[in-house]
Structure 1
C-alpha cells in the first residue's frame, strides 16, 4: 500500500539524496507537478513510501534510472505545435540566411523530435549544410533514442499532418525510410545534430547560437529555477538572435525580459536586443 502524500521533509530528503548521489538537481522543479510524477513512480516501483524509495535509489542505480523516467518529462512529437515551426520558417529563417554559418540549441530535447523538426525546416530552406544543431537533455536513455533517430512508424501519419500545417514544402516521407514498423530518419538530418547532456538547473551556457528553442521545459520549474534557466538561455543567444519558448511560457515576468523583444508574440518567439 502506497503511503499518503509525502511531507515536505520527505520530498526534500529524496531530492537531496538524488542530487548528492547522482548530481541531478530537481530541487527547483515545480512542486505540484513533481508530486504527481512521484506518485506515479511510487506505484511503478512498488514502494510503500518516499522513504523506501529514497533508500532504494541510494542503493540501486538501476532504480534511480527508472525514477528518472518519471522525474523528467519526455513528451515530444515531430512538428509539435505546427504554427511555431511555420513561424520559424517564415519569420526567423529569413534573418538566419544572412549568416555564413548557423548554430541552434534545442534545450530539453527529450527523444529528439523537435531537433529533427528544425533540421527538416532548415533542409527545406537550403540552410542545413551550414547549420549545427546542439540538442541537449538530462535523460541518458532519451538521448540514446534521439541519436538513433528511429521512431514508431504508426506515429508518422500524425507527424505528416503537423508537417503540412508547419508549412512543409513536400512530403515528410522524403526524410525517412520505413522499415517494418519503424521509421528511420535520414542520415543527413542526424549528421547536422549533436546530442549531449546538459542541465538547465546546474550547467551554464556552452555556446553562442543564433537560435535557442526551449519549449515546454520552463513550466516544470519553480520561479527561481525559471529565472536561472532563462539567464542561461539568454547568455547563449547572440545579439539579434532568437529564443523560442512553449505556448504556455513567457518572458513577461522574468528579470531577463528586457534583454529581448517580442518577435512573434503568438508563438512565443523572442529576439535578443
Structure 2
C-alpha cells in the first residue's frame, strides 16, 4: 500500500508578498510595506507551513476571517518579551535617566510596540521604586489587539516569573519581584497599584502620528524588523513626540544614524539611550 506523499510547504515570492501586503492594507488598513521583506517573508512562509496553507488558502482566510487576521498579525509581528529583559539597560535607566525625570512635575512614558506589557510593567516598578510613579502616566501601544488584551489583564505564566525575577535581581533591585504580583495556581497577577496609571491602546507606527508629548519613549527591538525608510520615519515620529530634553530608548541591536545624532545626545551608547536636543 502506497503512503500518501507528504505535502511540502509552499513558499511565497517577494512579488506575491507585495500583493498580499496590498490585500491586507485594503481590507484592514494595516501597512506591512515598510517591514523588512526578508523577515516578513520568513514569517508568512512559517505560518503557511504550520497551518498547511497554500497561498490561495491564506489569501482566502485573510479576506473572510477577521479572527484569523488577528492570529496572523500576532505571528507576523514580534512578541518575544520578558520583564527586565537586559538588566544592564535597567541599571543604566535607573542611574542616568530617572534622576533627570525628577525635574519634571508630570511625566508621560510611551512604550511603543509594547507587546504583552512585561516591559511596561518593568518601567512602572522602576518608577515606583524611584518615587516617580504617582506623577507618571504610562502608555503602551501595539498594533495587535490580542497581545494588548493580555497586557491589560497583567496576568502572566507563573513559571516565567522565575526568569523575570532573576532579571530583576540583576538590576540591583531593593526588593523581590514577588512584591509586585499575586500568585494564584499557575498565574501571576500584577498588582493594581502598578496598573492604575497605565493605558494600553492600538497604535500603528507605520501609519499613525503623534498623540501626546512624552518625557520618555521606549521602543526596544522593534525597528530591526523595519526597512531603512520606515526606521527613519519612526525615529522622526519619536523626535516630534518627545518633549525637549526627553529620552529615547532603543534595543541593543538598534542605534541612531549619524544624521539623527544631530537631533539627539548620546546618553549611553551601549544601552542605546538618547536625549532629544531642543
What's the TM-score bracket when you normalise by the shorter of the two chains?
Answer: over 0.9
* Equivalent position SS for 1:267: coil
- Tell me the TM-score normalized by structure 1: 0.96
Indicate if the aligned counterparts of 2:87 and 2:168 stay in contact, CA closer than 8 A. Answer: yes
Distance 1:39 1:6 in 2: 6
Tell me the number of residue pairs that the alignment of Structure 1 and Structure 2 aligns. Answer: 271
Is contact 2:12–2:45 with CA below 8 Å preserved after alignment? no
Corresponding position: 1:8 with 2:14 = yes
- The residue aligned with 1:218 is 223
Report the RMSD for the aligned CA atoms in angstroms.
1.2
Q: Which runs of 5+ in 2 are unaligned?
A: 1-6
Asked if the contact 1:2–1:42 (Cα under 8 Å) also holds between the matched residues in 2, the reply is: no
Q: Structure 1: state its 5+ residue gaps.
A: none
Q: Is the 8 A contact 1:131 1:192 kept in 2?
A: yes
* Counterpart residue number, 1:37: 43
User: Which residue is 1:265 aligned to?
Assistant: 269
* SS of 2:182 mapped into structure 1: strand
| The one of 81, 100, 112 aligned to 2:117 | 112
SS at match of 2:183: strand
1:196-231 alpha-carbon deviations (Å, 9 max, x no partner): 100110001111111000000000000111111111
Residue from 175, 178, 199 that aligns with 2:180: 175
Query: Could you tell me how far 1:35 is from its partner in structure 2?
Result: 1.1
Mapped partners of 1:189, 1:156: distance in 2? 16
TM-score (norm: length of structure 2): 0.95
Cα offsets for 1:138-168 (capped at 9, x unmatched): 0000000000000001111111110011231
The structure having more radius of gyration, on CA atoms, is 2
SS in structure 2 of the partner of residue 207 of structure 1: coil
Verify: 1:78 aligned to 2:83, yes or no.
yes
